Structure 1
Amino acid sequence: MNWSELLVSILFTGTAYAMVLYVISVGLSVTMGLLGIANLAHGAFAMAGGYLLIELLGHLSLPFAVALVVTGVLVAAVSVVLERLLYVHVYKAGEFDQVLLSMGIIFVASAAAQYIYGPMPMTVTVPASLGGGVELAGRSFSLYRLFLIGVGVATFVALLVAIERTSIGVRIRATVDNRAMAESIGINTGALFSIVFALGSGLAAIGGGLGADMISVAPGYPLEHLAYFLIVVSVGGLGTVSGPFAAALLLGIGDSACKILAPQFGAFFIYVAVFAVLLVRPQGLFGRLQVQ
């Protein structure tokens, strides 16, 4: 393989991986920016989405698109229950209480997954309609990974329009910028929190299901991939849609390059790059300093 082919392979694989990271992590960026809560259990919703999609495709034989929508809706519904029963009590608590709660949810979710599915990693079976490859410029590209890239870009555009062009988006941005002022002008931040939490969790579930072909689902999923989800959020910036998109691209392509060109160093270069970015931009690439 020559250098041009290697570069194309890194960019293509890295972009597909980046889109999975983005769909999972963007909800975490918005919820942490809006709710101000250190929700380290976000990966548990992605894991739940992976397992649920496997079940819907395997046991119920639902069409892939239908199973994906059902996965997102069901996990979002469950997340609202958890938000109202558990998370609402730690919104104004310190970070220590928030971390304890989210870590507890991770351990409970991982134990439940271990009990139901066992310790072995599981992957989603790619539907026949998305199998195979597509010939572009004399090269074959995986159709499913092209699909992942398309879903990631579509999610980015849809969220950008929703945040910038709709009334609920205006309320979200107002609450992110200044929660007290938003409440003083009559914005129901409690309902807004639930909506955003459900959206973020549903996106995480869809991302976890879509990405299960690249990132296998296992009971340790929420902890094993937590660092990468947090990197996307911290480098991109809290409360933004564009930031995590750029950060996911940097992380996905950089991680693929490291694994292909210097596998002996693992993620060493990724973490060095993260430290460098955060030293220069502590609030992230697109983050804004928030007023609470």
Structure 2
Amino acid sequence: MEYIARSLTFIAIYGISYGMVIFLISIGLVVTMGLMRVVNLAHGAFAALGGYLCTYLVTAQSLPFGVAVICATIGVSVFSLGLEKAVYTRIYKASELDQVLLTIGLMFVTVAGLNFFFGPNVQPSRLSPALEANIDILGRSVQVYRLFVVGVGATIVAGLWFLFEKTSFGARLRAAVDNRPMAQAIGIDVASLYSKAFVLGSGLAAFGGAVGYGMLPIEPLYPFKYLTIIMIVVALSGFGNMKSAAVVSILVGVVDTAGRYFFPTYGAFVIYGFLIAYLLLRIEGGFKRKSA
């Protein structure tokens, strides 16, 4: 029983923290694909840039981890605003194929640029002594950093729910998506609204890459390496469904952690078996109901 309790504690805390990082990175794509109808396959590049910038500020500039995360998020958000004005506004009304081709091209450019400036190796991650410390929970030693990520992720989930469901910004964004001509007719600045939503999504990706750089190794292939898991969360949660995205991200994190814990050799394949089963049962956001 003690072994089971310790194992479940490990899987729960480490799986939820991993799922929170996945959510922080994925939620931006949930917004752009679900609400703005933009297929942005370069979304992972913003997370990689956030992780690289955070790593540089911590290791080279000796900034505290929290300050580095904030600076990295702001820096990537500002960069994404310029990129949105220069590139993305041109593809908002383009076909899905054009969006895919352009954004995947941007991802290749990002990977090449990161490899050129930082080299092909994984960047070292350094946490503060407080976050690197371990505490005992139910007989299991747990890193404080993991608990910190869970707390930050839960706070972001609550904040995003309030932003999209309880503020005029969320209402105006939904209105612009549902009927853009009508939204413009009643005075909503749709272009400005889309820019803000895009910057928000990119900033969240950078925040997730920065906060999670102690879990997801920062390397040039980062945008490609985690694109699959990001797209899985977006697809399974339903485009634009933030609450479902949080649940799916945590489920993916827990299942993947459990698979690697109990089956170290083949654990990486467990998550894909789970996803196949989920897709077979799921029909447009729900599960097939048995006929009466």
> How does the TM-score come out when normalised to structure 1?
0.92
What letter matches 1:61 in structure 2? Answer: S
2:107 aligned with 1:97, yes or no?
A: no
Q: Partners of 2:286 and 2:267 in 1: how far apart?
A: 24
Evaluate the alpha carbon distance shift between residue 180 and residue 235 of structure 1 in structure 2; reply closer, same or farther with a 3 A threshold: farther
Q: Partners of 1:274 and 1:184 in 2: how far apart?
A: 43
- How far 1:117 moved relative to its partner? 0.9
Who is 2:290 aligned against? none
Q: Partners of 1:35 and 1:171 in 2: how far apart?
A: 12
Alignment of 1:140-219 (within 5 A): 140-219=141-220
Q: Partners of 1:118 and 1:278 in 2: how far apart?
A: 38
- How far 1:282 moved relative to its partner? 4.8
- How far 1:109 moved relative to its partner? 0.5
2:82 aligned with 1:81, yes or no?
A: yes
Q: Is the 8 A contact 2:51 2:206 kept in 1?
A: yes
Q: Partners of 1:104 and 1:265 in 2: how far apart?
A: 33
- How far 1:275 moved relative to its partner? 3.4
Who is 1:6 aligned against? 7
- Larger displacement relative to structure 2 (134-143 or 20-29): 134-143
Give aligned pairs, total.
286
Q: Is the 8 A contact 1:72 1:206 kept in 2?
A: yes
Q: List per-residue Cα deviations over 1:239-264 (Å, max 9, x = no partner).
A: 12201100101100011111122344
What letter matches 2:128 in structure 1? Answer: P
Q: List per-residue Cα deviations over 1:104-141 (Å, max 9, x = no partner).
A: 11111100110111111114211122221123344322
Evaluate the alpha carbon distance shift between residue 144 and residue 191 of structure 1 in structure 2; reply closer, same or farther with a 3 A threshold: same
Who is 1:290 aligned against? none
SS at match of 1:40: coil
Q: Is the 8 A contact 1:33 1:176 kept in 2?
A: no
Evaluate the alpha carbon distance shift between residue 136 and residue 263 of structure 1 in structure 2; reply closer, same or farther with a 3 A threshold: closer
Q: Is the 8 A contact 1:236 1:285 kept in 2?
A: no
Q: Partners of 2:106 and 2:127 in 1: how far apart?
A: 30
Q: Partners of 1:176 and 1:94 in 2: how far apart?
A: 16
Who is 1:289 aligned against? none
SS at match of 1:2: helix
Q: Partners of 2:284 and 2:24 in 1: how far apart?
A: 21
Q: Is the 8 A contact 1:234 1:284 kept in 2?
A: no
SS at match of 2:240: coil
- Larger displacement relative to structure 2 (177-186 or 139-148): 177-186
> How does the TM-score come out when normalised to structure 2?
0.92
Q: List per-residue Cα deviations over 1:8-50 (Å, max 9, x = no partner).
A: 2111111110010011111110111122111011100000001
- How far 1:149 moved relative to its partner? 0.4
Q: Partners of 1:284 and 1:215 in 2: how far apart?
A: 28
CA RMSD of aligned residues (A): 1.8
Q: Is the 8 A contact 2:6 2:138 kept in 1?
A: no
Q: Which runs of 5+ in 1 are unaligned?
A: 287-292
Who is 1:271 aligned against? 272
SS at match of 1:195: helix
- Larger displacement relative to structure 2 (145-154 or 135-144): 135-144
Alignment of 1:51-130 (within 5 A): 51-130=52-131
Q: Partners of 1:213 and 1:176 in 2: how far apart?
A: 36
Q: Partners of 2:180 and 2:277 in 1: how far apart?
A: 31
Q: Which runs of 5+ in 2 are unaligned?
A: 288-292
Q: Partners of 2:277 and 2:285 in 1: how far apart?
A: 11
